[in-house]
Chains A and B, each alone.
Chain A
Amino acid sequence: GQQLNQSPQSMFIQEGEDVSMNCTSSSIFNTWLWYKQDPGEGPVLLIALYKAGELTSNGRLTAQFGITRKDSFLNISASIPSDVGIYFCAGPLSGGYQKVTFGIGTKLQVIP
């Protein structure tokens, strides 16, 4: 079945550093979604990408939909302590509007 490979699975960074994480798949996706989840809470949508090559920003976050439609990356610039959490990439499986598959997540820890 379709799978999303997300890396890295965890990272420790110093406050102020930039962060990059990515997702790849063996299948083509028509949509890429990036979420952040805080402990004990549901995932919160950060950025949604709908077109190959699309580059979208949301404050200090930037995400791109790969040209091959099989990958996407998320960058966080000038990290701050509240960026701590788990970041998930996600994309819809074929056959339904909401049958979305998720990457394993990138656990980000920011050292003040």
Chain B
Amino acid sequence: KAGVTQTPRYLIKTRGQQVTLSCSPISGHRSVSWYQQTPGQGLQFLFEYFSETQRNKGNFPGRFSGRQFSNSRSEMNVSTLELGDSALYLCASSLASPSGNTIYFGEGSWLTVV
């Protein structure tokens, strides 16, 4: 079955703009989480959604937001972009079974802010 799909793969924005990234989880997966990856900070947890509800949130400013739709697809939005927001944004999905926490990643969306 298809893996986690993220769009767009690459994008360039200017400071002050906003951006929306999209994620389609593996079919049947109901939990979606987002991560920011930068060379200096590694993989940082942004937030996690399950059944259209945000269950967990990382330590990011309010400019970072997300949502999940009834079909489990998710979007994240970053407003008032800053140069430091340049990163690889990764989406991951999981069955959200209580028996484990295995998550599967998409290929990511490369965001460059200029």
Contacts and interface: CB of A to CB of B under 8 A. Distances in A.
Tell me, yes or no, whether A binds B.
Answer: yes
Interface of A: 30-31, 33, 35, 40-45, 48, 50, 88, 90, 92-93, 95-105
B48 A42 contact: no
Contacts of A93: 45, 56
**A contacts with B: majority SS:** loop
**B contacts with A: majority SS:** strand
B22 interface: no
Contacts of A95: 56
Contact of A98 (B6, B92, B99, B106): B92
Contacts of A88: 43
Interface of B: 4, 6, 31, 33, 35, 42-43, 45, 48, 50, 55-56, 58, 90, 92, 94, 96, 98-108, 110
B78 to A, nearest CB: 19
Given A42-B107, A102-B43, A105-B42, A97 B101 contact: yes
B94 A99 contact: no
B70 to A, nearest CB: 19
B74 to A, nearest CB: 12
Contacts of A43: 43, 90, 105
The winner among B4, B6, B48, B101 for most chain A CB atoms within 10 A is B101
B100 A98 contact: no
